Structure 1
Amino acid sequence: MGSAQREEQKDTAGKVAVTGRYQTIPAKVAQDFTRPTFAAGAVLWRRSSDNPEEFEFAVIHRPHYDDYSLAKGKVDPGENLPMTAVREIAEETGFEVRLGQLLGHVTYPVAKRTKVVFYWLAEVTGGEFSSNNEVDTIAWVDAATAREMLSYELDRNVLDKAVKRLGVPVDARLILVRHAHAFSRRTWAGNDHLRPLDKKGLRQVEFLPAMLQGYRPTSIVSALPDRCQQTAQPIAQHFGFELTIDEDFGDDAWVSRMAAVKKRFEALIAQGECPIVVSQGLTIPDVVAWLSAKGRLPLEEFDTKKAGVWVLSFHQGELIGADYLASPLPIK
Structure 2
Amino acid sequence: MPAAGTLPWRVRKGVLQVALVHRPRYDDWSWAKGKLDPGEDWAAAAVRETFEETGLAVRLGPPLPEARYLVLTKAGTRGEKVVHYWSATVTGGHGRLENEIDAVDWLDVAEANVRLDYAHDREQLRALVRAHGDGALDTWPLVVVRHAKSVARSDWDGDDRERPLDARGTQRARDLVPVLTAYGITRVLTSPSLRCLDTIAPYAVSLGIEPRTRRGLSEEGHEAEPGRAVEHVERLLERGEPAAVCTHGPVMAAVLGVLAERLHLEGGDAVAMLERFVEARDDDLAKGEALVCHVAGVGADARVVAVERHLP
TM-score normalised by the shorter chain: which range applies?
Answer: 0.7 to 0.9
Residue deviations 1:148-183, cap 9 Å, x none?
A: 211112110011112222331545431111111112
Task: Determine if the alignment matches structure 1 residue 248 to structure 2 residue 216.
Answer: yes
Which letter does structure 1 place at the counterpart of 2:64?
A: L
Pick from 133, 153, 157: which aligns with 2:123?
157
How far 1:90 sits from its partner (Å)?
Answer: 0.9
**CA 1:318–1:252 in structure 2 vs 1: closer, same or farther (change >3 Å)?**
farther
Q: Map 1:210-289 to 2 at 5 A.
A: 210-284=178-252, 286-289=254-257
Structure 2 residue aligned with 1:5: none
Residue deviations 1:38-58, cap 9 Å, x none?
A: 11110111221xx1x332101
Structure 2 residue aligned with 1:43: 7
Residue deviations 1:258-309, cap 9 Å, x none?
A: 3333122111111111121111123235422431234324553223111111
Counterpart Cα distance in 2 of 1:92 and 1:161:
23
**CA 1:325–1:253 in structure 2 vs 1: closer, same or farther (change >3 Å)?**
same
Structure 2 residue aligned with 1:317: 302
Q: Map 1:18-37 to 2 at 5 A.
A: 37=1
How far 1:238 sits from its partner (Å)?
Answer: 0.6
Tell me the TM-score normalized by structure 2: 0.85
Kept after mapping to 2: 8 A contact 1:179/1:228? yes
Counterpart Cα distance in 2 of 1:307 and 1:104:
26
Counterpart Cα distance in 2 of 1:59 and 1:214:
20
Counterpart Cα distance in 1 of 2:95 and 2:209:
30
Pick from 54, 75, 90: which aligns with 1:93?
54
* SS across alignment from 2:278: coil
Larger RCO, structures 1/2 (Cα 8 Å, 6+ apart): 1
What are structure 2's unaligned runs of at least 5 residues?
72-76, 266-273
Task: Determine if the alignment matches structure 1 residue 69 to structure 2 residue 35.
Answer: no
How far 1:78 sits from its partner (Å)?
Answer: 4.3
Residue deviations 1:129-155, cap 9 Å, x none?
A: 444452112221111221121111211
Equivalent residues, number: 288
Identical-residue share of aligned pairs (%): 34
How far 1:108 sits from its partner (Å)?
Answer: 1.8
Residue deviations 1:235-261, cap 9 Å, x none?
A: 111110012221112234444433333
Task: Determine if the alignment matches structure 1 residue 296 to structure 2 residue 250.
Answer: no
* SS across alignment from 2:279: coil
**CA 1:135–1:282 in structure 2 vs 1: closer, same or farther (change >3 Å)?**
same
How far 1:211 sits from its partner (Å)?
Answer: 1.7
Q: Give me the CA root mean square deviation.
A: 2.0
Q: Map 1:46-57 to 2 at 5 A.
A: 46-48=10-12, 51=13, 53-57=14-18
Residue deviations 1:61-80, cap 9 Å, x none?
A: 11111111111001123422
**CA 1:62–1:185 in structure 2 vs 1: closer, same or farther (change >3 Å)?**
same
Structure 1 residue aligned with 2:286: 305
* SS across alignment from 2:183: coil
* SS across alignment from 2:58: strand
* SS across alignment from 1:258: coil
Pick from 143, 168, 171: which aligns with 1:203?
171
Tell me the TM-score normalized by structure 1: 0.80
